[in-house]
């Protein structure tokens, strides 16, 4: 076994880390969050394209650099540490990879390659009311119209759905699941911008006989969506690892500097042990973020098991870290002024998206058998 | 002789009182307030003061006050029933700073002039109070506070900063712990001052909570002149008042009603949310177990609270065991909030969106979930409560 990163990967992580420290601190996220607008900066997105971070995990055939999903995970971890608001998870890890699987060469060239260059962003519109975490629960309908198709229905909590140039939309066509591309400015598409708990923005989308720009058929849609949920969960684990590391770092720094009763509060053994328990959970998170990213491209039951373990770690161990980080800050931790709360909220979003603990534990429990 | 059997029931008189309270709340709450309560919404300070005035008219606004000072003459059990019914109905939680904190201190330590000057206006809601205790450098270690009051003849001159001065932006008065002496133990040089918030040199800066509600403030004092008659209790004797006040605060924090209400909300969400199989989550054994565990834990908490109450009914002052109630109650509130968020699934990501994105009863849950991280921090953090139990009950040695 080898958990070492290649030299290129180490370099990549360092590059993203250094960039975020210089160009996109938490202070920048706060400004973007509080301003009107998209909730991120298309110029920064374009810059990420120029730096090659968007193209990195895609094959050369679509304009990528032929790296692996693990590379994207390394970037996400670093972006998570600074709460960088650009839609890397939504556009690269989720929609980009779904498009790579489901599209043909011409569709890749038309919809995927511009995103890799930072010219456009993508969104995967899969979630519907009453679907819980099942991407196959789809009520949006597609019907043939002339040479193409039109869609009618509603999608909710669409990550980057308010801003995406191209939306991948699941719908039922003649009783079968199907996946379409809809232009952001399509006729009959209403995009209602939603505010998310973590300060990100997304959308509720309403389709009324909205024309599709293309249908994606290179892989069975149910399989595409299932794999997208796993990609999203792995990406949430990777970004979550960054979020939790940041929280641990900020909190231990606070324990080292905050004085009460004439001493640093970090000298209290009860609080030292709490910090140690947080550290242990962060390390378990690291293990599972790595396994989830590596196995996201595998077939077979090990992938689902790794994803379940990663999401449980994010939702249980990660929640412990996140909540104790607030607790150890005392009153200041419950204000919007302290950064720690912003990480707390991002953690909640990441632990919930693509299946919460109950969902993944349930899915894994259904596979249990005596050995 | 057969010892008297334990009695775990409320008396008929208590049950009749519960019914009376419930009926009053049902008739006295304005419709829009009821709707907000039904939606588990967050009440603004003006709404809270509206409810304060309704209760004041009924004579029920200060259950903890003696009748002579304007209290309703409830006994300990009735006070408990009253607060439980208020929380269950989702009535706006009254601001405790005048009614629960400074009011009882004025009753106990105030001069006749101070009682006449302040108490009626606390009761009527004409004057709103806030608390000036914590400072940026003095949280759990409150006695290290540095805001100073210098003797200048017929008045003090106050300088410093108080934090977590909750709802100071709505307040007319702030009660403050200030340093009046640097001699002896740090607890020995503290006095208790009543300061009008509109005095020249007082500046209030509100800040947002994690739940995006405007509760918290920083309050700054720059050469603020405070007349000597605004000193409550003896000079350099403020720590005694502070300790008495923390005792009052701790009896509030069992939060049994808030726990029950939040678990009730969890069941409501579970009944209204479909699982992937198309059935309500409340029909799913996995979720049922999760809710059941919380309800059973709540029962143990509630029974422990009753034990404490029975002691108070016999005239005993609440002792360090109230720390148990603070620990368990605050953690139960958080666990119930967390369960609501989990039940909501993706809906738990919604942050103050327009009506219709999530059901009305879910609209406030994410904000409450965030803000309630404070329950294990305020009124003496849970770490401090554990120190109290370790020292006062278990008798463990200190370093």
Q: Residue A21 maps to which CATH number?
A: 1.10.540.10
**Which residue of chain A has the CA closest to B279?**
A130
Report the pLDDT value the prediction gives residue B317, as an integer from 0 to 100: 77
**Which residue of chain B has the CA closest to A326?**
B373
Q: Is the pLDDT of residue B143 over 80?
A: yes
Residues A236, A357 within the same domain? yes
Report the pLDDT value the prediction gives residue B247, as an integer from 0 to 100: 66
Question: Distance (Å, rounded) from C-alpha B37 to C-alpha B261?
Answer: 11
Residues 6+ apart with CB under 8 A from A25: A82
Name the percent of chain A lying above pLDDT 90. Answer: 98
Residues A17, A101 within the same domain? yes
Number of domains in chain A: 3
Comparison of pLDDT for B255 and B351, the residue scoring more: B351
Report the pLDDT value the prediction gives residue A16, as an integer from 0 to 100: 97
Where in the sequence is the domain holding A288, given as residue range(s)?
222-365
Residues A232, A348 within the same domain? yes
Comparison of pLDDT for B183 and B317, the residue scoring more: B183
Domain at A206, CATH number: 2.40.110.10
Asked, for residue A1, whether it belongs to a domain, the answer is no
Helix-, strand-, coil-residue percentages of chain B, each rounded to 5 = 55, 15, 30
Confidence tier at B140 by pLDDT (50, 70, 90): confident
Name the percent of chain B lying above pLDDT 70. Answer: 97
ipTM of the shown complex: 0.97
> CA of A350: how far to CAs of A164, A362, B82, B249, in Å?
20, 18, 41, 36
Asked, for residue A2, whether it belongs to a domain, the answer is no
Report the pLDDT value the prediction gives residue A219, as an integer from 0 to 100: 98
Asked, for residue A270, whether it belongs to a domain, the answer is yes
Comparison of pLDDT for B312 and B179, the residue scoring more: B179
Residues A15, A131 within the same domain? no
Residues A282, A347 within the same domain? yes
- Where along chain B do its domains lie? 31-114, 128-238, 253-393
Is B272 catalytic? The answer is no
C-beta atoms of B163 and A333 within 8 A: no
| Residues of A in Cβ contact (< 8 Å) with B346 | 127, 133, 156-157, 352-353
A244 close contact with B: CB closer than 8 A: no
Report the pLDDT value the prediction gives residue B315, as an integer from 0 to 100: 78
Which of A195, A330, A337 is nearest residue B352 as measured by Cβ atoms? A195
| Residues of B in Cβ contact (< 8 Å) with A196 | 349-351
Residues A139, A197 within the same domain? yes
Which of B137, B141, B346 is nearest residue A127 as measured by Cβ atoms? B346
Residues 6+ apart with CB under 8 A from A33: A39, A85, A199
pLDDT tens track for A122-151 = 999 999 999 999 999 999 999 999 999 999
Residues A301, A283 within the same domain? yes
The arrangement of secondary structure in B128-238, i.e. its CATH architecture, is: Beta Barrel (2.40)
Asked, for residue A181, whether it belongs to a domain, the answer is yes
Which of B207, B346, B381 is nearest residue A352 as measured by Cβ atoms? B346
Q: Is the pLDDT of residue B188 over 80?
A: yes
Report the pLDDT value the prediction gives residue A279, as an integer from 0 to 100: 98
Confidence tier at B286 by pLDDT (50, 70, 90): very high
Q: In the listed set A121, A155, A175, which residue is the last one of a domain according to the structure?
A: A121
Domain at A349, CATH number: 1.20.140.10
C-beta atoms of A344 and B341 within 8 A: no
Q: Is the pLDDT of residue B6 over 80?
A: no
Asked, for residue A199, whether it belongs to a domain, the answer is yes
pLDDT tens track for B227-268 = 999 999 999 999 999 988 876 665 667 888 889 999 999 999
Q: Label each residue of A58-107 as H, E or C.
A: CCHHHCCCCCCHHHHHHHHHHHHHCCCCCCHHHHHHHHHHHHHHHCCHHH
Which one of B283, B351, B357 would you mutate to disrupt binding with A, by most A Cβ within 10 Å of its Cβ? Answer: B351
Average pLDDT, rounded, for chain B: 92
Compute the half-sphere exposure of residue B354: CA atoms within 13 Å on the CB side of its CA: 5
Average pLDDT, rounded, for chain A: 97
Of the candidate CATH numbers 3.40.50.300, 3.90.420.10, 1.20.120.1760, 1.20.140.10, the domain formed by B253-393 belongs to 1.20.140.10
CB distance A109 to A139 below 8 Å: no
Confidence tier at B5 by pLDDT (50, 70, 90): low
Q: In the listed set A190, A219, A248, which residue is the last one of a domain according to the structure?
A: A219
Distance in Å, alpha carbon of A350 to nearest chain B alpha carbon: 10
Report the pLDDT value the prediction gives residue A2, as an integer from 0 to 100: 84
Q: In the listed set A81, A97, A121, which residue is the last one of a domain according to the structure?
A: A121
Report the pLDDT value the prediction gives residue B226, as an integer from 0 to 100: 97
Q: Is the pLDDT of residue A316 over 80?
A: yes
Residues A204, A293 within the same domain? no
Residues A145, A107 within the same domain? no
Token output for B243: 């300790």
Compute the CA torsion angle A280, A284, A290, A291 (nearest 10 deg).
Answer: 160
As a whole number, mean pLDDT of residues B296-301 equals 97
B296 close contact with A: CB closer than 8 A: no
Report the pLDDT value the prediction gives residue A222, as an integer from 0 to 100: 98
Distance in Å, alpha carbon of A316 to nearest chain B alpha carbon: 11
Asked, for residue A182, whether it belongs to a domain, the answer is yes
Instruction: Of B11, B56, B3, B106, give the one whose Cα is nearest residue B309.
Output: B11
C-beta atoms of B349 and A198 within 8 A: yes
Instruction: Of B190, B184, B140, give the one whose Cα is nearest residue B160.
Output: B190
Q: Is the pLDDT of residue B278 over 60?
A: yes
Residues A110, A230 within the same domain? no
Which of A133, A204, A336 is nearest residue B208 as measured by Cβ atoms? A336
| Residues of A in Cβ contact (< 8 Å) with B342 | 356-358
A331 close contact with B: CB closer than 8 A: yes
Q: Is the pLDDT of residue B4 over 70?
A: no
Q: Considering B20, B203, B249, B331, which one is annotated as catalytic?
A: B249
Name the percent of chain B lying above pLDDT 90. Answer: 77
Helices (H), A147-268: 221-257
| Residues of B in Cβ contact (< 8 Å) with A358 | 286-287, 290, 342
């Amino acid at each position: 076994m080898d958990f070492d990163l290649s030299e290129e990967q180490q370099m990549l992580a360092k590059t993203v880390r250094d960039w975020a420290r210089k160009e996109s601190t938490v202070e920048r996220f706060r400004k973007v969050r509080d301003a009107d607008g998209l909730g991120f900066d298309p110029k920064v997105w374009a810059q990420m394209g120029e730096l090659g971070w968007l193209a990195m995990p895609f094959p050369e055939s679509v304009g990528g650099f032929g790296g692996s999903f693990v590379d994207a995970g390394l970037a996400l971890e670093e972006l998570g540490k600074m709460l960088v608001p650009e839609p890397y998870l939504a556009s690269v890890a989720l929609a980009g990879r779904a498009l790579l699987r489901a599209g043909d060469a011409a569709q890749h060239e038309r919809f995927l390659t511009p995103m890799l260059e930072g010219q456009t962003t993508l969104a995967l519109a899969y979630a519907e009311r009453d679907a819980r975490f099942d991407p196959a629960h789809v009520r949006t309908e597609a019907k043939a119209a002339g040479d193409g198709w039109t869609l009618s229905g509603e999608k909710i909590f669409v990550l980057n759905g308010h801003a995406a140039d191209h939306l991948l939309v699941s719908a039922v066509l003649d009783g079968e699941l199907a996946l379409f591309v809809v232009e952001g400015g399509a006729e009959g598409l209403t995009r209602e911008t939603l505010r998310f708990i973590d300060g990100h923005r997304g959308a509720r989308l309403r389709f009324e006989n909205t024309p599709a720009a293309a249908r994606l058929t290179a892989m069975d849609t149910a399989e595409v969506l299932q794999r997208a949920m796993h990609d999203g969960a792995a990406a949430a684990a990777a970004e979550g690892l960054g979020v939790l590391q940041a929280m641990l770092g900020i909190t231990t720094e606070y324990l080292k500097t905050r004085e009460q009763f004439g001493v640093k509060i970090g000298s209290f053994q009860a609080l030292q042990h709490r910090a140690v328990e947080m550290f242990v959970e962060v390390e378990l998170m690291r293990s599972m973020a790595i396994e989830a990213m590596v196995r996201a491209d595998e077939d077979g039951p090990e992938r689902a098991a790794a994803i379940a373990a990663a999401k449980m770690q994010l939702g249980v161990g990660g929640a412990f870290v996140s909540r104790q980080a607030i607790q150890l800050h005392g009153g200041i931790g419950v204000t919007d002024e302290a950064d720690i709360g912003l990480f707390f909220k991002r953690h909640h979003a990441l632990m919930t998206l693509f299946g919460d603990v109950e969902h993944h534990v349930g899915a894994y429990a259904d596979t249990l058998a005596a050995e | 002789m057969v010892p008297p059997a334990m009695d775990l029931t409320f008396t008929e008189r208590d049950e009749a009182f519960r019914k009376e309270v419930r009926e009053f709340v049902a008739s006295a709450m304005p419709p829009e307030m009821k709707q907000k309560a039904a939606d588990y919404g967050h009440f603004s300070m003006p709404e809270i003061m509206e409810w304060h005035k309704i209760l004041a008219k009924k004579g029920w606004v200060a259950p903890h006050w003696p009748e002579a000072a304007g209290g309703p003459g409830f006994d300990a059990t009735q006070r408990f029933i009253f607060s439980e019914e208020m929380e269950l109905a989702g009535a706006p939680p009254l601001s405790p700073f005048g009614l629960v904190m400074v009011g009882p201190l004025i009753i106990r330590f105030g001069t006749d002039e101070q009682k006449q000057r302040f108490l009626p206006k606390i009761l009527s809601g004409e004057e709103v109070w806030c608390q000036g205790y914590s400072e940026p450098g003095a949280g759990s270690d409150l006695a290290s506070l540095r805001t100073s009051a210098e003797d200048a003849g017929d008045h003090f001159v106050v300088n410093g900063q108080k934090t977590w001065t909750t709802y100071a932006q709505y307040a007319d008065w702030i009660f403050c712990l200030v340093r009046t002496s640097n001699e002896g133990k740090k607890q020995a040089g503290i006095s208790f001052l009543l300061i009008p918030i509109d005095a020249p040199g007082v500046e209030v800066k509100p800040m947002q909570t994690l739940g995006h509600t405007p509760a918290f403030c920083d309050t700054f004092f720059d050469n603020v002149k405070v007349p000597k008659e605004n000193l409550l209790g003896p000079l350099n004797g403020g720590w005694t008042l502070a300790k008495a006040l923390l005792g009052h605060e701790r009896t509030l924090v069992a939060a049994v009603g808030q726990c029950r209400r939040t678990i009730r909300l969890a069941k409501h969400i579970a009944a209204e949310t479909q699982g992937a199989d198309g059935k309500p989550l409340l029909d799913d054994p996995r979720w049922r177990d999760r809710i059941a565990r919380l309800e059973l834990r709540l029962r143990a908490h509630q029974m422990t609270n009753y034990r404490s109450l029975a002691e108070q009914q016999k005239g005993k002052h609440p002792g360090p065991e109230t720390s148990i109630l603070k620990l368990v109650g605050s953690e139960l509130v958080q666990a119930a909030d967390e369960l609501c968020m989990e039940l909501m699934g993706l809906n738990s990501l919604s942050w103050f969106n327009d009506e219709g994105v999530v059901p009305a009863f879910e609209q406030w849950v994410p904000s409450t979930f965030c803000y309630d991280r404070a329950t294990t921090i305020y009124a003496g953090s849970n770490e401090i409560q554990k120190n109290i139990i370790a020292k006062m009950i278990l008798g463990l040695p200190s370093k």
